[in-house]
Amino acid sequence: MTLIDELQAIAKQAEADLAAKGADLEQVRVAYLGKKGKITTVLKSMKDLSIDEKKAVGQVGNQVRQQIQDSLVAMKAVQEKAAMDAKLQAETLDVTLPGTKPKLGNRHVLQQIMDEIESHFLGLGYQVIDDPIDSPEVETDEYNFERENLPKDHPARDMQDTFYVTPEILLRTQTSPVQSRALEKHDFSKGPLKMIAPGKVYRRDTDDATHSHQFHQVEGLVVGKNITMADLKGTLLSIMQELFGEKHQIRLRPSYFPFTEPSVEVDVSWNEVTEDTKPEDIRWIEVLGAGMTHPNVLKMDGVDPEEYSAFAFGLGPDRFAMLKYGVEDIRQFYLNDVRFLDQFNKRGN
């Protein structure tokens, strides 16, 4: 048998070994193509051949080597596909089984309070102004302070010292500027203006259990003819009873704000009040400020204080949430701790 015959026989044997069920491809590769493999052994025998015979044997040897290599690649692909098919078959997913229901979150407790406030005032015929155009968080000094009867040298500004972008541009300290813009646009021939302005405000407060440099506010304003303090008290009583319960009462105490005259601090009863409750047994807690809108404010917003009167108030949803749910640290609202937030269901209870 010539060397060429031996190489051709090796090629046939290699194909047979590769076709065998469960063939170990690495073992076949080493046996035929390794340094001590069958093809190498045959080719080492060419030393006694002539130049022409060496060329012929070498050419056949290369062809057989390439044929075996191609067969190894093809068989490897077949084995990998078979292994993947077996794995997929073993991991078949039964789509008829019920899926894992994702956990649904709730609205943030502060958003729940704000939604409750907005819903109440919408029921009273108020409009809610909270869009970015009419209620920007970056304000001018004119609308944030001067239009609220707080000129640049007014000492009350120190209580609301805030974050300035430029000497005339700042992060708003209250949502009162929204009221000024609404007054400029309102057509009183179509009736009084009744509005609330919810949103975020910013002040240079040191963060602690009861203060934050960023918090929420809902300011309200009613402007029309013959608006009185009685209208203000009735409005505030209705929202306090909406938030805390019908058996809670309010009281008004004289105070001072540059943008209202007269001004009042509003307290809500900590305990429920019935016909049998003695005045000395009522526990009060301050919750907001309010008053009759100052004539200067109306004038600066283009409203004649001789013809129209108004009342205004400012609610703090963060404070209301603390009171309603017994939260002792305002910072809890902003830590995004799911363990804390999960205590409040979709109704805010």
Statement: residue 2 has pLDDT above 90: no
Statement: residue 21 has pLDDT above 80: no
Radius of gyration of the chain (CA): 42
Pairing of strands 193-202, 127-128: parallel
**What residues form the annotated binding site?**
261
Mean of pLDDT over the chain: 89
- Each residue of 334-349: pLDDT tens digit? 998 888 888 886 544 4
What mean pLDDT comes out for the span 198-206? 91
**What residues form the annotated binding site for Mg(2+)?**
261
What mean pLDDT comes out for the span 163-190? 94
Statement: residue 36 has pLDDT above 60: yes
pLDDT of residue 347: 47
For a pLDDT cut of 90, what percent of the chain falls above it? 56
Statement: residue 318 has pLDDT above 60: yes
What mean pLDDT comes out for the span 116-123? 96
What's the per-residue H, E or C state across 252-276?
EEEEEECCEEEEEEEEEECCCCCCC
Question: Rounded CA gap, 228 and 219, in Å?
Answer: 18
Statement: residue 47 has pLDDT above 80: no
pLDDT of residue 152: 87
pLDDT of residue 23: 75
pLDDT of residue 89: 82
Q: Is the pTM of this model over 0.95?
A: no
State both tokens at 18: 């590769």
State both tokens at 41: 């052994």
Helix (H, G, I), strand (E, B) or coil at 189: helix
Statement: residue 55 has pLDDT above 90: no
Statement: residue 3 has pLDDT above 50: yes
User: For residue 22, what pLDDT band results from cuts at 50, 70 and 90?
Assistant: low
